[in-house]
């Protein structure tokens, strides 16, 4: 019995030691988990503290003006006297007053020049530049295409105004090639003023779209083109079967940026025509400015701005969803 007791006692002691070690390990792990949880909470709070200045700036200079504009849109107010409630009258006028409705229609027409033409031209130019073997020549081409993005839109509009003048570069070029019958005061013509402004937008947007699409082409595996060539595909077939599908996301970005630029255009139109002649180039951005600071119709200006924001979202969100789908 003593022998058994002598053997049993060390076993019991070993069990107790192992049990104590397990308990210490459990406590240590529990303490470590709590420490990690506390550190995680501190890190999250630290992240929010770093973002706080940007959030404050966004709330003050973005959210507050939006809320204020929505509030003003339900009042008739000249900016000085007491505002009177107008209900939905300001929104009704946006779609019933010919001048206001025409400005919205003009912005959609500008999409042709700000979006469709630049994206199509950028696809062609990007495909051509991809074939350039010389690095120096390729870099020069990219630089030249991006130059319009360096120049502010207002400065570009002023330069194009000079070129569109009766004695400007455009009419001089037409006269030099024997097309003097086409010469006109482009920005003073009721028919051609809006397309002339749109061409300025095409010139501004083509370079950006080209660089975005060139970056997208650079991600496409060159072995796909080599395999297509071996299968006898020509360049047009390669473009349709390889380049276009590979540029789906980049094309979506180009279309999104340029449509917003067309619908919310201000600087190019204001500096070139200020909405004239008459109202032939009037767009919502310029109209909002003129309603607020020229005609003192703050409520009507706010209503048009709100409608413009809704239109931009209504157009952009489906486009984003379409190009995000596989």
What is the per-residue pLDDT across 193-211, written as a single tens digit (0 to 9) for each? 999 999 999 999 998 999 8
Residue 34 has what pLDDT? 53
d(CA 266, CA 285): 5
Residue 142 has what pLDDT? 80
Segment among 13-22, 102-111, 121-130 with least mean pLDDT: 13-22
Same-domain check for residues 56 and 111: no
d(CA 71, CA 153): 31
Residue 44 has what pLDDT? 75
d(CA 278, CA 186): 14
Q: Is the pLDDT of residue 6 over 50?
A: no
- Classified as helix, coil or strand, 275 is coil
Residue 313 has what pLDDT? 95
Count of domains observed in the chain:
2
Q: Which of 22, 41, 72 is the last residue of a domain?
A: 72
Confidence band for 138, pLDDT divided at 50, 70 and 90: confident
- pLDDT more than 70, % of the chain: 86
Determine the average pLDDT of the residues in 272-276: 94
Same-domain check for residues 194 and 297: yes
DSSP 61-81: IIIHHHHHHHHHTTEE--SSS
Q: Is the pLDDT of residue 292 over 70?
A: yes
Same-domain check for residues 48 and 108: no
DSSP 266: -
Confidence band for 30, pLDDT divided at 50, 70 and 90: low
- pLDDT more than 90, % of the chain: 65
Note whether residue 166 is domain-resident: yes
Confidence band for 35, pLDDT divided at 50, 70 and 90: low
Note whether residue 154 is domain-resident: yes
Same-domain check for residues 53 and 148: no
Q: Is the pLDDT of residue 37 over 70?
A: no
Same-domain check for residues 61 and 101: no
Same-domain check for residues 64 and 199: no
HEC letters along 110-150 = HHHHHHHHHHHHHHHHHHHHHCCCCHHHHHHHHHHHHHHHH
Note whether residue 80 is domain-resident: no
Q: Is the pLDDT of residue 4 over 50?
A: no
Note whether residue 98 is domain-resident: yes
DSSP 182: G
Residue 311 has what pLDDT? 96
Segment among 84-93, 105-114, 144-153, 162-171 with least mean pLDDT: 144-153
Q: Is the pLDDT of residue 148 over 50?
A: yes
Same-domain check for residues 97 and 32: no
- Residue 261: CATH number of its domain: 1.10.3720.10
Mean per-residue pLDDT over the chain, rounded: 87
Which residues make Cβ contacts (< 8 Å) with residue 252, sequence separation at least 6? 319, 320, 322, 323, 324
Residue 107 tokens, joined: 């912005």
**pLDDT, tens digit, for every residue of 93-111?**
999 999 999 999 999 999 9
- What is the domain range of residue 127? 92-324
Same-domain check for residues 111 and 34: no
Note whether residue 82 is domain-resident: no
Determine the average pLDDT of the residues in 82-95: 95
d(CA 1, CA 8): 10
Q: Which residue has the higher pLDDT, 17 or 56?
A: 56
Determine the average pLDDT of the residues in 12-40: 58
Note whether residue 83 is domain-resident: no
């Amino acid at each position: 019995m003593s022998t058994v007791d002598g053997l049993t006692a060390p076993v019991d002691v070993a069990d107790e030691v192992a049990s104590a070690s397990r308990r210490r390990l459990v406590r240590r792990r529990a303490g470590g988990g709590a420490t990690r949880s506390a550190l995680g909470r501190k890190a999250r709070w630290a992240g929010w503290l770093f973002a706080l200045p940007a959030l404050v700036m966004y709330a003050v200079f973005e959210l507050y003006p939006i809320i204020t504009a929505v509030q003003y849109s339900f009042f008739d107010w000249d900016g000085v006297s007491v505002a009177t409630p107008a209900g939905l009258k300001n929104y009704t006028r946006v779609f019933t007053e010919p001048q206001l409705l025409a400005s919205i229609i003009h912005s959609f027409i500008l999409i042709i020049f700000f979006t469709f033409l630049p994206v199509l031209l950028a696809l062609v130019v990007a495909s051509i530049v991809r074939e350039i073997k010389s690095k120096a020549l390729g870099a020069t081409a990219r630089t030249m295409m991006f130059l319009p993005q360096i120049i502010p839109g207002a400065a570009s509009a002023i330069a194009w105004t000079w070129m569109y003048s009766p004695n400007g570069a455009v009419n001089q070029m037409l006269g030099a090639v024997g097309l003097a019958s086409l010469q006109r005061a482009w920005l003073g013509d009721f028919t051609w003023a809006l397309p002339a402004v749109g061409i300025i937008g095409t010139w501004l947007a083509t370079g950006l779209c080209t660089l975005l699409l060139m970056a997208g082409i650079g991600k496409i595996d060159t072995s796909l083109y080599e395999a297509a060539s071996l299968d006898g595909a020509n360049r047009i077939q390669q473009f349709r079967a390889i380049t276009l599908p590979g540029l789906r996301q980049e094309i979506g970005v180009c279309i999104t940026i340029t449509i917003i630029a067309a619908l919310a255009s201000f600087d190019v139109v204001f500096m070139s025509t200020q909405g004239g002649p008459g109202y032939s180039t009037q767009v919502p951005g310029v109209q909002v400015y003129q309603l607020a600071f020229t005609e003192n119709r703050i409520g009507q200006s706010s209503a048009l701005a709100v409608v413009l924001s809704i239109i931009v979202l209504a157009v952009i969100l489906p486009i984003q969803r379409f190009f995000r789908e596989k």
